[in-house]
Structure 1
Amino acid sequence: MAIRSKLVATASTSAFAIALGTLAAPAYAQDNGEGEENNPTSVGQEDEVIVVTGIRASIDSSVAKKRASTSIVEVVTAEDIGKLPDSSIAETLSRLPGLATQRFDGRASKLSVRGLSPDFTTTTLNGREMVSSDNNRAVEFDQFPAELLSGATIYKTPDAELTSQAIGGTVDLQTVRPLNYTGDRFIVGVRGEINDNGKLNPETDDKGYRVNVAYIDQNAAGTVGWSLGYARMVQPIQEQYIHTWGYSNLGTEEDPAFFIDGIKPYVKSNELTRDGLMGTLQLEPKPGWTIAFDAFYSKFADDQTLRGQEIAGYTAASRDILEVEGGVVTQGRWNGIRTMSRNDFSDRDSDNFAIGANGTFEFDNGWTLELDASHSFANRTYQAYETYSTSGRGQTGPSDDITYTLGGSNGLTITSGLDYADPAVWELGDNLGWGGGYCFPEFGWQCDSQDGFVNEETSDDSLTAFKAAARKELESAISGVSVGAKYSFREKEHTRFGQFLTLRIYPDTLPIPAEFLLPATDLDFLGLGGSISYDARGIVDSGVYFTTVENERNRLSDDWSVDEAVFNAFAMADLDMDLGGIYLTGNFGVQAVHTDQSSLGYATTESGGELIAQQINKGDEYWDILPSTNLIFEVADNTKVRFGAARVLARAPMDKMNASRRFDYNAANADETDILQSPWSGSGGNPNLRPWRAWQFDLSLEQYFGSGGYVAIAPFYKKLLNYTYDELTVQDFSGVVAPGPVQPILTQGLVSTPANGEGGKIYGIEFSASVPFDTFTEALDGFGFIGSASLTRSEVRKTADSDPEQLPGLSREVINGTLYYDKGGFGARVSARHRSAFLAESFAIGLSRQTTQAKGETIIDAQLSYDLTNAGIEGLTVYLQGSNLTDEPFIQYYNDDPTQFRHWHTYGRNFLAGATFKF
């Protein structure tokens, strides 16, 4: 793509991730993927050369590209197809300046750019916008095998040609173009993996593997090229997990004593299986004419097994405070408490597919025409089953005295007296009285027929796009002009509902069938001992349960679709001029964007005890004008100053744009006259919700030195013109008949829906550096350091009078660093990435999403590699890699108080050993 090629070729403000992607590079002159050798430097006689390869060659290449770039970007490139070392591109991107990922089930998945949550980052593949298998816009990067990608570019400053922009940034993933290579190549990689937590659930595995194969070739004339790639990953994740229900103050406001309400200790085992396919056909029917067809497919299955106990504080006969520190009960005892055993499983399956055709045609009159068409879709199904076992239905069995103590490597420890692994004590059934199919309103929710539960969610997302653009090269200070248009249509459909599982022999409980019993699950990591274990999948399939829909109103309100038709017209001019000894390059331009958005959903309520559901189809149309400029001043031979300014937008999360609404009635408030205590209430989405809009300003000062050395300082400022928040509005319920004989006094209530708020600002500064130590002394040849630090602040308000809000995904400090050695075929590196506290996303009841405060974390990885060319085996590189070497926990907490932890995840260390072979 001639028009976009200059953007794809731009360089990173840090060579950090490029180094990671090329650590295993052989120690001889390598083809760089474009038919050229990697910067050999001649010394002495003509046939004597010093060849810089591997990490150092990548750094040199990235710095050269950085000096020619027209935007402020970050870039990660693979030395060759299959050479990115991480399990997914998410792991690689998390090491770039200003970028951070949240771990989900032990792996990096979604990406935050410059403090904005993943929903405000746009992801493209070969320049084309990608859809998401998530229930919002955020792309789950662990769907993409790193082995099938040739690189990625993150645009922090847009230009007018970048039609898929975002306030956070645009991440463009790239696959190979086979005609950029000379000759054919066949690459095979094999890796084995082990988790040092071992098998936490007896039928799961702590070992996995990864294999990848790629073939690239072209015809003898170099006019037809093709590439094919396949990658498979089977990855074990073994997790120890503790969740606390909350904290209740048993003291006073002046002298608080926050006591834990309950504990869920679990061991969780995930087996991730991902298959990825990549293919490209590239044609050059005549010089300057290029046509490319490419396809990408990823199938992802996540099978999870979870076992443990629900320690329900509300069932305790009494609570004893044993020790208080800082207002938190650090040691306490529940007397006469009951628990419920959990044997759960879930299956998440995702498919991602993208196909595209692109043609660029250069004409003799200086014009270039580009045509592009693409389609992508993603679908996901998620089923989560809970099955319970009891010591006596509805809190009738034996109780226990349990003492908890906060602290330690897992957050807390407990002592108890009951045997939680004895199948003579524990039978299938409900122990805590959690509602169920036989619970009617007159019984309240605390019934005893919920013997299990099923959450089901589906998401289907598709996008079709067409683009046409033309460019004219000029010989003046305006070196070229581009004009074009793009049209895209996107549709996302979502469903979610829950069902109760009830034993067919209810109200009796069922002894666990012997054929499904498994060895006890070990909960000794917090001191509980063994917990009853059985094959929950087998028991569900055996048909011992029947199901009842939890709530038909909930099911309908979570059934929605959102459509977006977007037309984008753009014009841009490139600059190339001498300003009295200061060389100026860059561009300026504008986009005009028309959006037609709509949503189909349901409004549900009850009138006279009957469910009323009304289908709703609403939406909005609007224009946005988005000017932008990028200016690069070469103030000295080795010094550049970059400036970027643009008006940008990021479309609202789709679950907030849905048209569904649910209205509720609380009979206990029938006599209230204050609308704040009205019996009527409701919540839902807003199909008229507008995008986040912002003005952003970027500056970057870059100083180069030596071979591959530089430092960069990049301050930035984003002025948010609006902000999405939940707003309470008055709704009239006249004509709705309340259930029961007494009708309420009020006929109005407050309904919560998303709205566009006041806005605010996000600002910060990024530091990055690449320092080859041979700059100081030849004795340190081969050693070097690459690192970055990003400091970000925000001040965003719902309204002009409200207090500032904390933005999801924003860490005030993000720091990355790598110390490396690369010489003579031997490579070694140790990397650390740190992010400070942030609002993290997690699952709440019913698969709904919520944000909770997460503690800062530091992840340390390391790798060793050796190219066996010197041993006579050309093309073979072996390596050993370790991730999460300090077994860093992922911790979320309540009330802005790290001592009141909510979730404590410990994932263990993963070790990999493997080899790549190219011939």
Structure 2
Amino acid sequence: MSMFKPSMFTLALISAGVVSHSAYAAEETAKAQEDQKVEVIEVKGFRASVVESINTKRFSSEVVESISAEDIGKLPDSSIAESIARLPGLTAQRLDGRASKVSVRGFGEDESATTFNGREQVSISDNRGVEFDLYPSEVMSGVTVYKTPSANLEAEGIAGVIDMQTIKPLSVDERVFQLNTMYEKTSFDKLNPDGEDAGLRGTFSYVDKFADDTIGVALALTTMTSPNQEKRWNAWGYPEFEADGKQYSILGGAKPFVRSSTLERDSVMFVFEAAPSDNLSMVFDALYVDFKDEKILRGIEIPFAWGQGSISGQSATVDAASGFVTSAVTEGQRVVVRNDYEDREAELSAFGFNTKYNVNESLTLEFDASHSSVEKKIWSLESYSGTGRGNERGEADNLGYTFSGGNTGAQFSHELDYSDYDLIKIGGPLSWGWSSALNEKYGVVGSENADGDYEYHPYENQLQDGFINAPTIEDELNALKFAAKQALDNEFVSSVEFGLSYRDREKSKMSEGYFMTVADFSYPDNPGMLTVPEQYRLGSANLDFIGMGDMIAYDSRAMVADGQFDLLAESLTNPSHATMSWKVEEQVTAAFVQANINAEIAGFPVTGNAGLRYVKTEQTGKGNAFNTVGGKVVTTPTHVEHDYSHLLPSLNLSVALDEMQTVRFGAAKTISRPRLDEMNASISAKYNQRPDENGNNWEVSGGNPTLEPKEAIGFDLTYENYFSAEGYFSVALFHKELKEWIFDGTYEIDMTGVVDPVSGEVPPNAGGSGKGKVNGGGGDLWGYELSVALPFNIFHDSLEGFGIIASHTGVKSDINDPNGNEYELPGLSDSIQSLTFYYENYGFQARTSMRKRSEFKGDVYGLGFKTVQVDILGETIWDAQFGYDFGEGGFEQLDGLSVSFQIQNITEEPFTALSGDNALQVRDYQDYGRTYMLGLSYKF
């Protein structure tokens, strides 16, 4: 069989160290170079990472995108998410100013799987989508995104699989000791007096080999303190009203604030690799991450149309086109001054062991075992203050607002001084906290009068002086895999792989909240507000960005720790915590067989694979069935089991038209498992004596533990042209037919063994009619990708070191719910672009990068840290990086030393979400400013 022989181009790649030497023996390479007088290409740093990434894409059997570290522990960006978001077809949603949630080809993060060294990972979020800012880029050697699957991939996702990789120490040529440090500064000065606007990062890396290069170790220790600040406009909503036969809308209320955050992350990565013989190899890797994100938030919650004041019609200005009231004044309004604090803590552990044994020259056996777990705790504190307790007490203000256009929110006018500690005191200035348990605790319950009418107590429902949300999330995943690969002496199939794997995952969320009331409140002795004690005063926070001036700033978390507040569990009377507390267990058994293709058809080399994967899933939902009896929540445990299976065929073909041009084709059936919060077994349950039209007595709403995965049949067609060691361009078309998507609907549920919360007994009829998420509906998603890596040295030698990397992706969808209504996929931007312009030569490095996406629906945290979906405007984000390597610059005495400088979010691009179609009706406007980073690295 005639195949292409090593070309001058391929041999040049080998000389650069970017094609594995295992492909061709070293002596053959040297001989070929001598015979053909091949010019050796040697690139380092960022350009080397570009070449490595191009070759990962070029020589993969699947359609992939890749990023590679330019040095040990040094990815091209300061975070993995930012690097991934620049790849063709990928983008990221920012969370608190940092790229975090990654979308692949128009699908949200829940539709792609994330693996670490090929093993599926747990998530710190409510669901399956991984927040990538948890993973330190310093310990990664690269990331590969599989856009088309193969049967041997140990994860399932309609959008694709994102695999993060650690270094393999036996592949490193020499011993490495490396120290990296970086100083980080925000462009905003401290927005809160107790916040931080500067931080430090540090990494120590060690890689070495022993025992005649049969044992290798790699160790990376990282620490990071990263500040982030934000000026945020947030609106409650925009109610509509009718006047003079016309429809109008107005600001309902706003909650603007300034936020100062500090992300602290410490991590340890360790890899042990052994190859005691030519037939045996073993790798053990471990990753531990300790993550803490501390947020200080201060602002003024301003009721407007939904407040107690009166709005003067003479003060109102109306946008004639939309009927939106762009400015108005409310008189006699009381506000809530907020001093909030949030702490997210997470610990992630991941361990894996892989061994391969060559039984003979043709048969290889593989065993893999792994564990991944995360525990996350959130402690979110809201502290309220104002001029008086309740709706009618204390001094009111006359407040005006003006929307001046754009998406920046409103500017306010006011008359009171909110920085006056004698005026603004701690306590609930509005009648919030409608809890019968809270009222009973303090003896402020009303009663019936002589006429039988209910008379409210003067302080009833006025005792919520703050609130604490305290959910916890635990996620654990254990996996085993046995596989084998048999080489064949066959004209079409070079080898066959087959294997069996088992994954056991358990994820739980416990939700709880606490009402806060100042500890010295009593009725009738001391029913008022608390003047902030001197030891907790921090001065003031400035809210000039919304026109509200200075407001009091105090240490609310220290006050809670010192017992200045009494706490009462909200779950006693509020059933929402019962629906948000759940546990889901999954046992996934999979078997696969895959034929690896290496053939010649019509004179063209054809490679790839064809495989079949069988996946059986057994899932169990555990939670609470609840009802309210006498104003108190009564719960009983639920336990619902469900199982399903899928056959997932896949095909990947690559046709080499010549030494530079390749055409790829992929076809596969894929699945994405349901969101875990949607398949939980915590439900509102009511047993009716009379059955409904379906013959069911149970009336249920909440999660649906019988949900099954979404399905898709996908096709990919790609043309790739590798015209240079550092350059390529490609054109890709993709199409996915979506089935069994998930929408709101009704379903049947078996309530066998569930106790009726009201009667306390198990009813005779176990049939239930549920309202929640169901499988059904679907449609099509299709699109195209254009990508290019263009080194300018192909035009002229004087341009050596200059180049660009660019991509454009267009995505369309036509999806309907089971009722035929149009549906928009979360995370889908119909236009995505990325651009990097770089220069690297003589030790200098300079590059500027842009990533752009059009508007999309994204997930944010709502009440109780429940995930809610909002309309997010498109954004264009520019970053820049500059560096100098003294050794590459010719300073031999400083060899190993390099410096770098980065600017993130150069144009100060905000994060903006709307409430509806009117561009003036801004739900969120978040201004993060810029971030500056100055780094120093020394490699011994």
Q: TM-score, normalised by structure 2?
A: 0.88
8 A contact 2:389–2:529 mirrored in 1 = yes
Q: After superposition, where does 1:61-210 map in structure 2 within 5 Å?
A: 61-210=52-201
- Map 1:145-544 to 2 at 5 A: 145-251=136-242, 255-313=246-304, 314-320=307-313, 321-327=316-322, 328-395=324-391, 396-406=393-403, 407=405, 410-435=408-433, 436=435, 437-438=438-439, 447-476=461-490, 477-506=492-521, 507-544=527-564
2:855 to 829, 837, 851: 837
Q: How big is each residue's C-alpha offset from its partner over 1:12-42, in whole Å with a ceiling of 9 and x where there is no partner?
A: xxxxxxxxxxxxxxxxx997798999x9999
Instruction: For 2:742, give the aligned amino acid.
Output: T
Q: Secondary structure at the match of 2:557?
A: helix
Query: CA offset at residue 511 of structure 1?
Result: 0.9
Shift of 1:752: 2.6
**Alpha-carbon distance between aligned partners in 2 of 1:206 and 1:58, rounded to the nearest angstrom:** 32
2: CA distance, partners of 1:609 / 1:883: 52
Aligned equivalents of 2:41, 2:155: Cα separation in 1? 43
Residue pairs, 1:378-777, within 5 angstroms? 378-395=374-391, 396-406=393-403, 407=405, 410-435=408-433, 436=435, 437-438=438-439, 447-476=461-490, 477-506=492-521, 507-552=527-572, 553-607=575-629, 611-663=633-685, 683-728=701-746, 752-777=771-796
Q: What amino acid is the match of 2:536?
A: F
Any conservation in 1 of the 2:407–2:912 contact (CA below 8 Å)?
Answer: no
Q: Distance in 2 between matches of 1:735 and 1:866?
A: 69
How many Å apart are 1:251 and its aligned residue? Answer: 4.2
Of the candidates 805, 808, 815, which is equivalent to residue 826 of structure 2? 808
What residue is the counterpart of 1:6 in the other structure? none
User: Which residue is equivalent to 1:823?
Assistant: 841
Cα distance between partner residues in 2 of 1:886 and 1:681: 53
Whether the 8 Å CA contact 1:183–1:217 is kept in 2: the answer is yes
Aligned-pair distance for 1:255?
A: 4.0
Aligned-partner Cα distance in 2 for 1:246–1:749: 36
> Is the CA contact 1:90–1:141 (under 8 Å) kept in the aligned structure 2?
yes
- In structure 2, the partner of 1:55 is 46
* Aligned amino acid, residue 295 of structure 2: Q
In the other structure, the counterpart of 2:798 is 779
Shift in CA distance, 456/798, structure 1 to aligned 2, threshold 3 Å: same
Give the Cα separation in 2 of the matches to 1:216 and 1:47. 32
The equivalent residue for 2:451 is none
Change (3 A) 1:325 1:498: farther
Query: What code does the residue aligned with 1:858 have?
Result: T
Q: Indicate the SS of the match to 1:656.
A: coil
Kindly tell me: are residues 164 and 254 of structure 1, through their superposed partners in 2, closer, same or farther at Cα, counting changes over 3 Å?
A: farther
Task: Please report how far the alpha carbon of residue 356 of structure 1 lies from its aligned counterpart in structure 2 after TM superposition.
Answer: 0.9
Alignment of 1:844-855 (within 5 A): 844-855=862-873
1:134-164 superposed Cα distances (whole Å, 9 cap, x missing partner):
1111111111110100011111100111121
Aligned residues: 870
Cα distance in 1 for residues equivalent to 2:166 and 2:93: 25
2:807 corresponds to which of 788, 791, 813 = 788
AA in 2 matched with 1:164: A
Contact 1:273/1:301 (<8 A) preserved: yes
Alignment gaps of 5+ in structure 2: 1-14, 447-453, 522-526, 760-766
How many Å separate the matches in 2 of 1:738 and 1:219? 69
- Aligned-partner Cα distance in 2 for 1:480–1:292: 23
| DSSP-derived class of the 2:343 partner | strand
Indicate the SS of the match to 1:62: helix
SS at match of 1:917: strand
Q: CA RMSD in A?
A: 3.0
- Structure 1 distance, partners of 2:231, 2:77, is 23
Given residue 917 of structure 1, which amino acid in structure 2 is its aligned partner? Y
Report the CA distance between 1:607 and its aligned residue. Answer: 4.6
| Closer, same or farther: CA 69–540 of 1 in aligned 2, 3 Å | same
Contact 1:32 1:80 in 2 (8 A): no
Q: Distance in 1 between matches of 2:677 and 2:71?
A: 39
Distance 1:239 1:866 in 2: 32
1:247/1:682 CA distance change after superposition, 3 Å: farther
SS in 2 for 1:710: strand
What is the CA distance between 1:749 and its match in structure 2? 11
Give the letter for the 2:308 counterpart.
T
Which residue does the alignment assign to 2:9? none
In the alignment, structure 1 segments of 5+ residues that lack a partner are 1-28, 666-673, 740-747
CA contact (8 A) 2:119 2:154 kept: no
Amino acid aligned to 2:399? I
Deviation at 1:129, TM superposition (A): 0.8
SS of match in other structure, 2:250:
strand
Aligned-pair CA distance for 1:732 = 13
What amino acid maps onto 1:592 in structure 2? Y
Task: Give the Cα separation in 2 of the matches to 1:65 and 1:728.
Answer: 46
Question: What is the alpha-carbon distance in structure 1 between the residues aligned to residue 67 and residue 918 of structure 2?
Answer: 37
CA 1:757–1:516: 2 relative to 1, 3 Å: same
Retained in 2: the 8 A contact 1:257–1:324? no
Q: Which amino acid aligns with 2:884?
A: Y
Q: CA deviation at 1:735?
A: 12
Residues 434 and 446, structure 1, Cα contact 8 Å, conserved in 2: no
Letter in 2 for 1:357: F
Distance in 2 (CA, whole Å) between partners of 1:658 and 1:335 is 46
Following the alignment from structure 1 to structure 2, what is the Cα–Cα distance between the partners of residues 843 and 825?
44
Deviation, structure 1 residue 757: 1.5
1:319–1:600 distance in 2 versus 1, CA, 3 Å: farther
Within 2, Cα distance between the matches of 1:599 and 1:516? 45
1:878 matched to which residue of 2?
A: 899
Pick which of 777-786 and 893-902 moved more.
Answer: 777-786
How many Å separate the matches in 2 of 1:475 and 1:410? 67
CA distance in 1, matches of 2:198, 2:528: 41
The code of the aligned residue for 1:704 comes to Y
Query: Within 2, Cα distance between the matches of 1:136 and 1:119?
Result: 7
| Deviation at residue 47 of structure 1 after TM alignment | 14
Shift of 1:58: 3.1
Deviation at 1:249, TM superposition (A): 2.2
Structure 1: distance between partners of 2:188 and 2:328? 29
2:254 alignment partner AA = I
TM-score (norm 1): 0.90
Taking only the aligned residue pairs, the percentage that are identical comes to 38
